[in-house]
Amino acid sequence: MELADIELACKQKVVFGNLKNGNAALKSIPSEINIDDVQKLMDGTTEAKAYQDLVDRATNRRYPGNFGDQNGAFLEYQDSEHALDPGRTPTMPASPWQQTIC
């Protein structure tokens, strides 16, 4: 067996373990989420959206979810970009997710 084969086997073992954990998590979702709760949430969201539309029409304003002021957001982004010092590269903290393969 070559070193590359051993490394590949280690990576496959990790991938298989992660797939196994993901599969178990997916199987547990139906027992965690009740369909009635999801329906209540969807109904509440629909009612809230309808109320927001009513208020918007009454006040003659646009709903922020439409992203109508994209130009203003872009200008704000440009201003913040110019505020940064282009010669300075920010330092990043070390990752807490350091993990060995095998």
Q: pTM, whole model, 2 decimals?
A: 0.34
pLDDT-derived band at 93, boundaries 50, 70, 90: confident
pLDDT score, position 73: 72
pLDDT score, position 82: 64
pLDDT-derived band at 77, boundaries 50, 70, 90: confident
Residue 14 has pLDDT above 90, yes or no: yes
Model pLDDT for residues 32-74, shown as the tens digit of each residue? 888 888 899 898 998 999 898 888 888 776 545 555 556 667 7
- Is residue 54 within 8 A of residue 60, CB to CB? The reply is no
Residue 75 has pLDDT above 60, yes or no: yes
pLDDT score, position 18: 96
- Is residue 66 within 8 A of residue 56, CB to CB? The reply is no
3-state secondary structure the chain: CCHHHHHHHHHHHHHHHHHHHHHHHHHHHHHHCCHHHHHHHHHHHHHHHHHHHHHHHHHCCCCHHHCCCHHHHHHHHHHHHHHCCCCCCCCCCCCCCCCCCC
Report residue 76 as tokens: 């704000």
